[in-house]
Each structure stands twice: as C-alpha cells, then as structure tokens.
Structure 1
Amino acid sequence: MLAGFFVAVLIVQAYVNAEFTGDHIQDEVGDQAGVPSAILRGGPIINTTGGQESTTRLPERTIALTFDDGPDPVWTPKVLEVLRRHDAHATFFVVGSQVARNPELTKRIVDDGNELGLHTFTHPNMQRLAPWRRELELSQTRMAIARATGVRTHLARFPYSSKNAAIDEVNWKLIKEAGALGYLVVVNDTDSNDWQRPGPDRIVADATPAGDQSAVILFHDAGGDRSQTVAALDRFIPLMKARGYRFTTVTEGLNLGITAQAGSLPALPLNPEAQSGDTWRGAAVVWTVAIADGLVTAIAVLFVVVGVLTIGRTLLLLLLATRHARQRRRPGWRWGPPVTEPVSVIVPAYNEKEGIEAAVRSLACGDHPDIEVVVVDDGSTDGTADLVDRMGLPNVRVVRVPNGGKPNALNTGVAMARHDLIVMVDGDTVFEPESLRLLVQPFADPSVGAVAGNVKVGNRETTVALWQHIEYVIGFNLDRRLYEVMNCMPTVPGAIGAFRRQALAQVGGVSDETLAEDTDVTMALCRAGWRVVYEENARAWTEAPTTMEQLYRQRYRWSYGTMQAMWKHRKALSDSGTSGRFGRVGLPFLALFGLALPMLAPVVDVMLVYGLVFWELRETAIAWLGMLALQLLTAAVAFRMDRESWRPLVKLPLQQFAYRQLMYLVLLQSATTALTGGRLRWHKLDRSGLASPPAAVAVRVPAQKRPVSPSPVELQPIGDGRAPGSGDRQVPDQIGRIHRRVREHDVQ
C-alpha cells in the first residue's frame, strides 16, 4: 500500500516536473493550406473566440515584453527588479507547475503591475497531446494562477510556438481550441534569441524592432542561466525609450491597438479577478504539487540513506568478516583443549514425521564421544514420537508433553537432559557427522556461553528455496562473522545452536514472551556478559520453505519476533556494563541493518523504474548496476568463505529484487502488528522431509552405547566428494541416497 502511494507520488512528480527543451525547438512547419492568409500575415495576438478569426498588432513604437517558462525563483526576481528600475511592465507566460511551486513569486509579478498568461502546466508539445489533455494543461494552469494571485488571464501561448508565418494546420486547430475556451493566443513578432546566450549585445540587437515598428518580443525568465537576459534588458529598455518607444503589457497594447483600429470597442481588463471555484480548485493543484515535491525529496533522501547503509554494511562485512575468516584459518588456530564432555541434544518436535528420523539419526550417530538425544514431542498428532521410539537408538529418549509451544518443549528438554553442554536442534534439521563435535569446541573458552552453527538449505531444487540458500550464505552466516567480531551476536539459530546449562540458567531458560525465542535468549545471554560465537564448520541442513506464501509466513514470524525481542531488551540501551554495550552496539546495528535497511531497500527499485522512464537512462542504469555490483561482491566473498559454488549467484539480481519487496511487506506488516498490539500465532510450515547433508556422511553408533551386534557401519562418501553445495542440483538426489543407505544398514 505504501509502495503504491510512493509510485503514485512519483508519477505526479514526473508529470509536474516534466523535462522540457527550449521554446526554440519546434516541429517542422506542416501544411498551411487550411490556415487563413490573414492569420499568417497578421499580428501576434490571435483571436478565435466566439468563432471569429482575427489578429491584432500593437500600435507603432509600442513594445510588449513577454517572458516564457517561469516563474523561476532565481531569475524572475532579477527580471522584475530591472522592470521596476526602468518603470516598465511586461507579460509573463507562466508554467502552471512552477506557479504551484512559487505562488508568492507569482503574486509578486501581479503586484508589480505585470500581466500573466498561460504557458501550459507541464510545458509539453501540445501538438502531441490528446484534446482532453490539452484542455487540462490550460485549466490546471488557470487554477494554479487563481490560487496564487486571485486573478485570471485571457492570454495563452503554447510551448514551442513561433511567429504567425509558422502556423500550420495542426497549430491552427490548437489555436481555435484555445479560442473556444475563451483565450487569445499570443505569438511573437521578434525573438531575442536569449536562449542561445549569445551575449547581451547580440540579445539587444535581435530584440530591437526595425524602424518604428511595434513588437511583441520573446524573452525567457527561466529554463537555465538567464544572466545575459537580465543584463540585456537593463540596456534594452532605456535604449528603446530613448527612441520614443513605450512599454506595455500585451493586454494594454491590445487595447491600444483595438482603439486605434475600431475606436469604440470595450477594453479588456488587466488581471481580472478569478472565479471563486478556480481559487478552491487551484488550492488542490498547489497542494498536490507541494506534497509530491516534498515526498520525492524525502524518497531521494531515503535513497541516499539506503545507499549509505548498503555501502557501510558492505565495508563492515568485508573488513570484519574477512578478519574473522582469516583468524579461523590461521595455521594452528583453535579454541583451546579439545572439548570431549558429554552433550545433550534437545529436539523439540511438533508433527515432524517427514524428517524426524533423519534428524534424530544424524544427531545420535555423530562422532562426538558422548551424545544424548532428548526428543520432546510437543503434542504431535502425526505419530512423530512413535517413529522415534521405533528407531530403537540406545542414546535417544522420547519425552511426550501436551502441546505448549516450542519454548516449553525446549525448557522441558533442558530439564530432562543429563549433561551441562546443551545443543538445541529443530526437528527438520540434519547434522553432518562431525557437526556436533565441532559445534561444542568453542566451549573450551570459559567465557563462551553459546555457539551458533552454520545453517545450510538442503532443498535447493526450487527457485524460492535457492533464493534462501543465497540468503543463508550471505545474510545469515556472513553476518554472524561480523556480529562475533563486534561481540553482539543477536541470534543463535534454532536449527543448530549450543549453550552452557549455566548460561541458560542465569537468564531463566528459553522465554515464551516472544515468537523469536532463539533471538530472545541470545540477547539475554549477551546482556548477561556471555560471549556468543559462530562456528562455521558445524553445518546443519534444514528444509526451507518452497513457496512464497510459506516464506512470507516464516519471515513474518521471524520479523515480528525480532521486534518483540528488541522491545523486550530495550532497557539495555541505558544499562551499564556488558548489557549496555550490547544495547548501544547490538540493538542499533540490528535496527539499522535488520529492520531499517530491508524496509527502505525497495526505494532502490522504485527510483530505478522512475529514473529509467523519466530521468537519464545511462546514469540511472549505472547507479543501479553499481548497487548490484556491490551486492555481487559481498555475495562472492560470502560464498567463497563458505566454500560454496558461485553458480547460484546468477540468480542474485532477481533474488535481491524479489527479497526487497518481500521483506518490505513483511516488516511493514510486522511493524503494524506490533504497533496495534496484535497477536501473531505460530505458523507451522509444511514439511516434506528433504533436509539432509549432500556430501560424505559417516553414520555410527556412539561407543558408550553401542550394542554387540550389529557391528559399526561406516558409509562411504557419496557422489564425487566435492564440498557441500558445490553441485546444487545434486542435493535432492544425494539426500535420497543417504536416507536409503541409512535404512539399509538399520543402525540401532
């Protein structure tokens, strides 16, 4: 809805801000057979009102100065000052959109005794417009003038018009249409050619009429640098007065000409009072232009903000994440002495029959010395607990509890666990054999309270899932390197995370106060002074949503839960110590790059579309491609750090465009829900049980609980032994082969 409003505003802005070229640029003169010869050879004031076809010239030694394309806030005041200094008046053919932007200046023109005429609202070539649009161009300008000055005008001049001799049948039709609306159309006798900026001397020479002839002279008070026009006027007016010329407005000159020709015709009023209806309608025009201008300025500022945030985030990621990767790959680097303490794995499960067997088997048969798996069945109705029971794995226990939500299931599992190192795993997630052992190694550092693992997307066969693979590698795992270096990790993922029992007890366990329980507990640990780190080599394969609807529902819950967690821990902003450090570093960072940037990012695409249609194509394309190149650079670095194939990055442009719109809608709805106090229920995603590691898998039974028979089973590498993700399209086939081989060996 808001994006649609912005698009509407940009369309209005594009309309009122139409780029136009100078009045000297015209179409070629067409067929003139239908134009009366009296018009072609007549005076510059053309009258087709009431069905008549006549022209009028000014009396001899009379000059009507006319200025097109204004009012301009820079040059129009300078022109008015010259006119006032030399006691001369002129006629200003104003552009309606400029009147709406400069109402006070337009009123000053009238207050100084000058006259206004219509020069359309957006300065289009009227020959190329539909009849309704031509009438609209005139009526909108009339209403804008009425609102700004309280007067109306009976004069009009079309953009790109010239002299009588250049009127062809197309222009003649336009002139008659204007006459039917009550307007006199004014062309010119003499063009000063000030648009060429040839210098004041040349402008004066071109503007000077021959002999004692009268002239309606064309100048410009807008459309570029008019300093030469101002300088030329300052010399031209006294020069012509010295030759006996008088300066009038077009209407004053017309009245003098009519009097000279007919003697008794009534004079036309100068700047007659506007009708009240036009004044009120003009207010709407002026306000529409003002709102469009203001919002476009705001959007432009937001575009700059998005650019600054994107560049800032990229630089931070490249600097700090690269530093993190180099540190971990330094020869001999390790967390400390090997961690061999027993581990309890908590698996909360609600209707996870599709993937629970693969998940539990991968956990129970990891290569850590002592593993206990506690599956907490949270009131499943699909037989999840029975499936686990039938597996008969000796180091796996099933705990059945009434449905009470994921936090309750996790806390129950922690209470039932026998060991002090706790790993929490989603029921649809499959570990690689070494992942559990690697995940707990950071606990060699006594300051570490929690460890985030590396979540990988296992089902990459659909475009939506592949997009999430890109997102996980770039947006999650690369960010976690950054957050670890800054010591403000906001989230240990529910799919693979490890905790000290002591740390969990200190923060009161897993809270059910937010929908993002993983973010909530991680923030609590950071505030309590525990280090939260990232172990890239501990990989877990999860099943990502495969449709846009499922993805939207998942991200909606994540975003809303994150907002809840940030609000819950807002007091950290004013705390001292480690809590205050997290509040003043982690929360603002998350607010800027996790909420503000995704919500504002669609501005990039809106401005792209607007720029391609209404601005310079080349500059707009360069700016957008520059942003894309920055994202590609970040993605390439992230994929290299994660040892992933770069092949999926061909879909990055589409992924970035789609995700920007998706996350904008998600965050907008989440913020609306939060502000209105709405409640969001947990959305259970549809599962198909596809998640599994695609590379070499060795399944074994833990030594301390291994039965006498059968003997340990070692599965050989599957496929060509390439790193995970090196062949994205092979993932589903490999998954199936892994599951089949595990079932064939019937590991107990």
Structure 2
Amino acid sequence: MSRHQRPRQSIRRSRRLAAPPLRFFLPVALLVCLLAMLVLRGMATNEVFHDDRTAVSVDKFSVPPNLLTGGPIVDARGKLNDKPVSYAVPDKTVVLSFDDGPDPVWTPKVLDLLAARHIHATFFVTGSMTARHPDLIRRIVADGHEIGLHTFTHPDLALQSTSRLTWELGQTQLALAGVAGVHSSLFRPPYSSTADALDDWTWPVVKEVGRRGYLTAFIDADTDDWKRPGVEEIVRTAMPKQPGRGEMVLLHDAGGDRTQTVQALGEIIDRLEKDGYRFASISEALGATSTTVPVHGYQLWAGKTFILLTQISVHLLPWLIGLLSVVGVLVFGRFALMLVLAIRHVRRTRRPDFSWGPPITEPVTVLVPAYNEQECIANTLHSLAASDHPIEIIVIDDGSTDDTSAIVEEIAMPNVRLIRQPNGGKPAALNNGIAAASYDIVVMMDGDTVFEPSTVRELVQPFADPSVGAVAGNAKVGNRDTLIGAWQHIEYVMGFNLDRRMYDELNIMPTIPGAVGAFRRAALLRIGGMSEDTLAEDTDVTMAMLRDGWRVVYAERARAWTEAPASMQQLWSQRYRWSYGTMQAMWKHRHAVRESGPAGRFGRVGLPVVTLFGVVTPLLAPLIDLFLLYGVLFVDAQRTLSAWAGVLLVQGLLAFFAFRLDREKPWHLVTLPIQQVVYRQLMYLVLLQSSITAFTGGRLRWQKLRRTGEVAAPIVEA
C-alpha cells in the first residue's frame, strides 16, 4: 500500500468542542450592547412592551362597598385584616391632575400657566416620557408640584401579570430617581376613571399596589380633553357637580395636540377661583406629607445610570437609522452594480469572436506550496498530470512534518520537481518557486486543490494581452455536500466569482485566489515577489500589481476544486485570517490614493470600492439583523418578517442568477435562508473580530487548516 493510499483512520482527530475564546466574546458583546440600546430606546418611546388592550368588566363582587361610594383617593396599604379606606378632596378644594406626561411641547405651557397663578398640581408621569424628557421632571419638582406614577409604558394593568406590574412600577421609580433624585408613593392606573368604576378586574391591581405601599388616585371629573371636544366642553365638565364640593379633575399634558387643554386650563382656574375654590396637590389637599420623597445611595446612582444609558440610546438611534439607510443603499447598490457588470462581463467574454489574442501554447510553471498536505497532495498532482496544457510542476515543501515530500517522490512524475525548505511560510515558499521557475508564466495553486484538465490552458490564455499581469481563476468548493460546504459553495459562486466579474469590468480586481491564479513572472519580480507583510499574500500581491499598472482579469472557465473548511471552528480560523490579512493589505497600499497613473486609479477607485463593499458594508450589515430581531420581538413581527422575506427574495434571485452564470445546479440554494440566519452572522462576527484586532494592534499567526483529502480527481469530472 502506498503512502498516499493510507486508510482514513490515520487522520482521525478528536472532535471535542473547545470553549469560545475571549476574542469571540468581544464582537458578540458589541452586538448584544447595540441590541440592548435599541431596547432601551424602544422603552423610552413606548415601542417596546407596548400593549394597548383594555379590560372590560362590570362585576364588582370583590370590591369593598365603601370604596364605590367614597372619594377618589384609595388607601389599600393597611395590614391584611384592615379594610381599605378612601379619601375625598375637601370642600372648596380642587386638585388639578395631569396624566401621560411630561411632553416637551405642552407640559411647559401648563407649568408656565400654573406658575403664573401660583398653583400646585399633581402630575402622573409615565416612565418612558420621564426618561426622554428629564428636564421637565426636574422643573415639575422644582416648582413644588407633586409627582405620581402612571406606569412606564401605559398598559392596562388589569390584563398584566404581577411581574409586569412590578417592572412597570420599578422602572418608573428608577427613571424618577435618575432624573430628579426622587421616588413617589402616589399611583394612578392607566385607563382609570372614578372610584365607583372599580370592578373585579381593577380592584386586584389596587390591592397589589397598596400592598407595595402606594396610594391610588382616581378622579371626580373626567374632562375627556384627549378627545378635543372643545374648550367650553372641557371647562364645563371640570366644574364641580355640587356647588362647594371638592373634586379631583383629570386633564392631560401629553398624548397629542393639547391646545384646547391649555386654553381651557386658564378658564377653569378663573371660574373656580371666582367661586372661592383653592387649588392644591393631593398631599396638600389631604394635609399629609408629600408623596414625592428624595432618594440616596444605590437607588439614586442606579437611576442616574439608567437615564444616562437611555439618553445615549435615544440620541444614538437617528445615527443607527442613518447607518441602516446607508447599509440598504450600499447592499442594493452593490446588487445592481454586480448584476449590470456581471452581465456585461459575460456578454463580452462569451462572444463567439472574443479573443485575448493568439493562443498561448508555451509551457508554464505550476507552483504548489505544501505544508503537511499528505492527505491532499496526491490528488493535486494527479489532477495536474491530466492537464491538456504543457506544464512544469514545482512542489515546494515548506518544512512539512508529515509524509508530503515522500508522497511526491513516490508518485515520481517526470515533470515534477520537489524543493524542500525549512518552514518559512507560504510567501517564502512561493518566492522560492518563482526563482526556480523555468517559464515566463507562473500558475499558483494550493496543495489541497485539484485542477480540471483544461484549467491551466484556460487560466493562461488572457496573457495573450500584454497588458495583463495576473489572472484569477474560478475556485469551486469540492466538499459541498455538507451544510457548511453548501453555504460556502453559495458564497463562492454568489460572492467571490460574481464579485470578480464586477471587479474585472472595473479593472480593480483586489485578489487572485491562492487556489487558482496565474502571474507573469517578470511582473512578480518587478514588484518584489510575494510579500510576507500581511496574512493575505494573494491580496497583497494583486494590489501591488494593480499599482504597478498591470491588468488583473478573471477567467471563469479556469475551474479549480478546493476543500473548504469542514467545521465552524476551521471556517472561523480561515475567514478570520482572510479578513485580517485583507485589512492589512488595504492599509499597506493606502498611499495609492495620493499617487498618479494606474496606482492612483486603483487608490481612488479600487481601494474605496473594496473598503466600501468588503469592510464597511459587512460591518454595518448586522444592523439589519439587529433591527430585524428588534422588530420581531418588540414591534410588528409580521411586517418585519415580510420585509426580511423581501430582502431574502432579492438575494435568492441574485444567487440564482449567479448560479446560472456559473452553470451550477441551483439546488444548493434551498439552504440560503438558513445561511442568512447562521452563516452570515458568523461572517459578521469574524469581520468584527478582525476589525477589533486591527484597531487594537493585535497580531495574528498563520493557522493551518485540517484537511481530509476528500476532494479528489473524480469530482472534477462532475
């Protein structure tokens, strides 16, 4: 049995799941923080946890009778055996109460009017409005008014759980502590009315908040000002039903246009003062201590932190929406650009009369850098042996510790040379091969790749054009029958190869794939060969050739079959290196933007396009998924999913088009929806981690992927 036919058991490896590294945690933490900020903003705008349902009940069996005939202020704070009591507003006293605020337009007008009349009122505020308008809460407290809780998001608590009630009260108290350093023990349920409207749905809520130490305030007169019935109608309903009797009047300083409310307020005060009424807050009317009390210590600082984060979130949202709009424009702009230029590329290169020039028939050198490729190297060499173009094969063993060199020697192909060198990395191996090459055109391939018989011939034909310095081939995923392989197959066809058609038309091809590419040897020597400055030597050398004035084109028929990573961990390692290396190459060639000639064109056209589509758009694209998740969980799941399905449909159509161009069977596209949910998120995290590494000045070592050798010569016949 020959070495390259050893049973697969010799390469079995442990499949233990490693714990996610800290660097994986950083990009995830960033996305979680952005989602948390969206939720904070949604809470402040009453978008998150919003529930506008209202309970309908007429039964009053559980309500103590004395409350149904008592005053509007209910005290259920007694011990278990104590009966709840209610208090009426004293005669000739009016409590003006305002719900749903504060509002930046109407609350200041109400406060100005009350200050001019030296009147104190009670404001039942929501936590969401408090968090958004902290200055108004501070003014309410500073002017001597009383503050009560009206929940955080204004739901009907009769339809909510006890835990939801706890959250509504706790978050509102947190907001009050953060903006004004106070708590309140006064509460008014949303959608409440007079005390005699208590029923079997609302009474348990009053009991529960009483058990927590709150005094519940209902009303005597509901002006229905939120309906905007007219100033006179608001004034009429605010007047006491019985002359001289005290009452609590309900008005609103938020929730819509309150012009009529502000106009009516002055007339209400004038009429009641004329009739000898005095105005007071609830505590003042009852002769009790204020329900608004200062807080200190942990409660104060927890509130301040909550308000600070909420304010940041509220002010950050317009920027996020702007970035989301940019992402949308870039994504669909890229789709349109790829579609137009890919069609133009196909029409140009598939014309019957298209030719690069006289056919290239001279021999070429094929370089195969190899490091521990014993599982794959035999398949690679056998595929080259079937080439229909004359070739010289140079295998550069970069210090392998396995049987790579022995397998090459055992195969003993006459046109194969083996060069051994101490381990120095792929660029060093390629430079060694370039120096030893016998021919003017050098083809480069990976040691885990197999070529079709026509690959080399198709790859070198563009060199008939003397302006062409390098050619990118069509890399195919050979192990595409697994889910991860299918996802990468879609990415290769839709992303890499469709992109290359676009870049070819723009003459800004940024990368020659290491799996299948060809170069003029003279052009390589002129730019100094393969550089070790970056982890993406293929991108680095391609950008260098563009800056040197060479054309870099795409040969779609030059197909090569490569073994893609077979696990998420290996895929992460590969893409992390690619992303980080590409950023290194872009930074290395950044000075091209200031140069003239071909280098300047690449710097002012190529680099911005690659940066925009290769870095900026993918980095911002997670915003789409964050808003998707936010919309599904907190806003309108049906509309959000419909919008996402529309975007997915566009991507599916573009992917189908790309598969047709590449003459691929589209059945792998059935995995596209799952790819968008899982695989694309992984690529986001990889790019985020790469960006964090780049910005923090981190270093990344070369990471060797594990190979199985499953991409063999029979697959190329498919």
TM-score (ref. length: structure 2): 0.88
Question: How do 1:21-420 residues align onto structure 2 when only pairs under 5 Å count?
Answer: 26-29=54-57, 31-51=59-79, 53-84=84-115, 88-131=119-162, 134-169=165-200, 171-212=202-243, 213-241=245-273, 245-255=277-287, 267-269=288-290, 278-368=299-389, 370-420=390-440
How far apart, in 2, do the equivalents of 1:481 and 1:614 lie? 41
Counterpart amino acid of 1:64? V
Q: Which residue of 2 aligns with 1:717?
A: none
Q: Which of 586, 607, 614 pairs up with 1:587?
A: 607
How far apart, in 1, do the equivalents of 2:402 and 2:505 lie? 43
CA contact (8 A) 2:383 2:713 kept: no
CA contact (8 A) 1:364 1:372 kept: no
How far apart, in 1, do the equivalents of 2:500 and 2:713 lie? 21
CA contact (8 A) 1:154 1:183 kept: yes
CA contact (8 A) 2:452 2:560 kept: yes
Q: Which residue of 1 aligns with 2:623?
A: 603
Q: Which of 695, 704, 716 pairs up with 1:684?
A: 704
1:632 maps onto 2:652 in alignment: yes
Deviation (angstroms), 1:219: 2.0
Structure 2 runs not aligned, ≥5 long: 1-28
CA contact (8 A) 1:191 1:207 kept: yes
Counterpart amino acid of 1:230? V
Measured against aligned partners, the alpha-carbon deviations of 1:227-277 in whole angstroms (never above 9, x if no partner) come to 44334435544455555554433333333xxxxxxxxxxx43485555566
How far apart, in 1, do the equivalents of 2:434 and 2:701 lie? 24
Deviation (angstroms), 1:639: 1.4
- RMSD over aligned Cα atoms: 2.8
Deviation (angstroms), 1:634: 2.1
Q: Which residue of 2 aligns with 1:546?
A: 566
1:531 maps onto 2:551 in alignment: yes
Counterpart amino acid of 1:189? D
Counterpart amino acid of 2:34? F
Q: Which of 18, 30, 38 pairs up with 1:2?
A: 30
How far apart, in 2, do the equivalents of 1:23 and 1:409 lie? 65
Counterpart amino acid of 1:605? D
Q: Which of 580, 584, 589 pairs up with 1:569?
A: 589
Deviation (angstroms), 1:386: 3.0
- Residue aligned with 1:513, SS: coil
- Residue aligned with 1:69, SS: strand
Alpha carbons of structure 1 residues 165 and 604: separation in structure 2 relative to 1, 3 Å: same
Alpha carbons of structure 1 residues 113 and 214: separation in structure 2 relative to 1, 3 Å: same
Measured against aligned partners, the alpha-carbon deviations of 1:638-687 in whole angstroms (never above 9, x if no partner) come to 11211212211121111122222211221232233334444322222222
How far apart, in 1, do the equivalents of 2:60 and 2:568 lie? 61
Measured against aligned partners, the alpha-carbon deviations of 1:282-310 in whole angstroms (never above 9, x if no partner) come to 32332232244345555444433322221
Deviation (angstroms), 1:19: 4.0
Structure 1 runs not aligned, ≥5 long: 256-266, 698-733, 735-748
Counting matched residue pairs gives: 686
Alpha carbons of structure 1 residues 414 and 290: separation in structure 2 relative to 1, 3 Å: same
TM-score (ref. length: structure 1): 0.85
Q: Which residue of 1 aligns with 2:4?
A: none
Q: Which of 458, 465, 479 pairs up with 1:445?
A: 465
How far apart, in 2, do the equivalents of 1:526 and 1:108 lie? 64
Q: Which moved more, 1:131-140 or 1:325-334?
A: 131-140
Q: Which residue of 2 aligns with 1:720?
A: none
Measured against aligned partners, the alpha-carbon deviations of 1:174-193 in whole angstroms (never above 9, x if no partner) come to 33443444432100112222
Q: Which moved more, 1:6-15 or 1:620-629?
A: 6-15
- Residue aligned with 2:71, SS: coil
How far apart, in 1, do the equivalents of 2:597 and 2:482 lie? 46
Deviation (angstroms), 1:389: 2.9
Alpha carbons of structure 1 residues 113 and 672: separation in structure 2 relative to 1, 3 Å: closer
Measured against aligned partners, the alpha-carbon deviations of 1:73-96 in whole angstroms (never above 9, x if no partner) come to 223223334445666543210112
CA contact (8 A) 1:599 1:663 kept: no
Deviation (angstroms), 1:630: 2.5
Q: Which residue of 2 aligns with 1:454?
A: 474
Alpha carbons of structure 1 residues 201 and 634: separation in structure 2 relative to 1, 3 Å: farther
Q: Which of 633, 637, 640 pairs up with 1:613?
A: 633
CA contact (8 A) 1:91 1:249 kept: yes
Q: Among all aligned residue pairs of Structure 1 and Structure 2, give the percentage whose two residues are the same amino acid.
A: 54
Deviation (angstroms), 1:278: 4.7
Q: Which residue of 2 aligns with 1:623?
A: 643
Counterpart amino acid of 1:500? R
How far apart, in 1, do the equivalents of 2:259 and 2:649 lie? 43
How far apart, in 2, do the equivalents of 1:22 and 1:543 lie? 50
1:489 maps onto 2:509 in alignment: yes
Measured against aligned partners, the alpha-carbon deviations of 1:116-173 in whole angstroms (never above 9, x if no partner) come to 2111233333335554653453344334334433555442112222221122355334
Alpha carbons of structure 1 residues 347 and 104: separation in structure 2 relative to 1, 3 Å: same
How far apart, in 1, do the equivalents of 2:207 and 2:598 lie? 79
How far apart, in 2, do the equivalents of 1:441 and 1:499 lie? 12
Alpha carbons of structure 1 residues 553 and 314: separation in structure 2 relative to 1, 3 Å: same
How far apart, in 2, do the equivalents of 1:442 and 1:230 lie? 79
CA contact (8 A) 1:450 1:497 kept: yes
CA contact (8 A) 1:26 1:161 kept: no
Deviation (angstroms), 1:471: 0.3
- Residue aligned with 2:645, SS: helix
Measured against aligned partners, the alpha-carbon deviations of 1:45-104 in whole angstroms (never above 9, x if no partner) come to 122345463222223454322111111122322333444566654321011232222111
Alpha carbons of structure 1 residues 186 and 565: separation in structure 2 relative to 1, 3 Å: same
CA contact (8 A) 2:101 2:125 kept: yes
Alpha carbons of structure 1 residues 285 and 663: separation in structure 2 relative to 1, 3 Å: same
Measured against aligned partners, the alpha-carbon deviations of 1:470-500 in whole angstroms (never above 9, x if no partner) come to 0000110011111112221110001110100
How far apart, in 2, do the equivalents of 1:454 and 1:20 lie? 48
1:662 maps onto 2:662 in alignment: no
Alpha carbons of structure 1 residues 141 and 322: separation in structure 2 relative to 1, 3 Å: same
Q: Which moved more, 1:661-670 or 1:607-616?
A: 661-670
Measured against aligned partners, the alpha-carbon deviations of 1:711-743 in whole angstroms (never above 9, x if no partner) come to xxxxxxxxxxxxxxxxxxxxxxx5xxxxxxxxx
Counterpart amino acid of 1:493? P
- Residue aligned with 2:101, SS: coil
How far apart, in 1, do the equivalents of 2:650 and 2:396 lie? 44
- Residue aligned with 2:97, SS: strand
- Residue aligned with 2:173, SS: helix
How far apart, in 1, do the equivalents of 2:277 and 2:311 lie? 42
How far apart, in 1, do the equivalents of 2:354 and 2:263 lie? 76
- Residue aligned with 2:202, SS: helix
Q: Which residue of 2 aligns with 1:500?
A: 520
How far apart, in 2, do the equivalents of 1:284 and 1:619 lie? 34
How far apart, in 2, do the equivalents of 1:643 and 1:199 lie? 71
Alpha carbons of structure 1 residues 65 and 351: separation in structure 2 relative to 1, 3 Å: same
- Residue aligned with 1:330, SS: coil
Alpha carbons of structure 1 residues 618 and 24: separation in structure 2 relative to 1, 3 Å: closer
CA contact (8 A) 2:534 2:585 kept: yes
Alpha carbons of structure 1 residues 512 and 273: separation in structure 2 relative to 1, 3 Å: closer
How far apart, in 1, do the equivalents of 2:431 and 2:651 lie? 40
Q: Which residue of 1 aligns with 2:25?
A: none
